C-alpha cells in the first residue's frame, strides 16, 4: 500500500500527468500489484499503461540477465480541465 500511496501522491501533489514505475526481479510483482490496486480502487481515469521488458547485466563481467519492467501511467485530462489550463496559460 505504500507504493499505491506514492502513485496517488505523485499525481495529486505534484500535478503530474504521467508517473513511471520501474522494477527489477522479484519486485516486479509489487509494481504490478500497486498499479492494479491504484487503477481499480482509487484512480480509474488512468488510461494508458505501457509495459516493457529488457535484459540488464547485474555487474561488469557478469552476464546474468535480470527481468525488468517499466509501467507508465498517464492521467487523461477532462475536456473542461483542459480548457481551464489553456485559459490560465494564455495572457491577453
The CATH T-level fold of domain 2-89 is Translation Initiation Factor IF3 (3.30.110)
* For residue 89, pLDDT beyond 80: no
Residues 74, 79: Cα–Cα separation, whole Å: 15
Task: Please report, to the nearest 10 degrees, the dihedral formed by the alpha carbons of residues 44, 21, 74, 53 taken in order.
Answer: -110
Enter the DSSP assignment of 78. Answer: P
Q: What is the pLDDT of residues 18-37, one digit of tens each?
A: 888 888 888 989 999 999 99
Record the pTM.
0.67
Residues 44, 18: Cα–Cα separation, whole Å: 14
Amino acid at each position: 500500500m505504500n507504493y499505491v500511496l506514492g502513485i496517488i501522491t505523485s499525481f495529486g501533489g505534484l500535478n503530474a500527468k504521467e508517473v513511471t514505475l520501474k522494477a527489477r526481479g522479484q519486485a516486479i510483482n509489487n509494481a504490478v500489484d500497486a498499479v492494479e490496486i491504484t487503477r481499480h480502487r482509487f484512480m480509474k481515469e488512468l488510461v494508458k499503461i505501457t509495459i516493457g521488458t529488457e535484459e540488464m547485466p547485474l555487474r561488469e563481467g557478469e552476464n546474468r540477465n535480470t527481468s525488468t519492467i517499466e509501467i507508465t501511467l498517464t492521467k487523461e485530462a477532462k475536456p473542461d480541465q483542459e480548457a481551464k489550463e489553456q485559459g490560465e496559460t494564455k495572457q491577453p
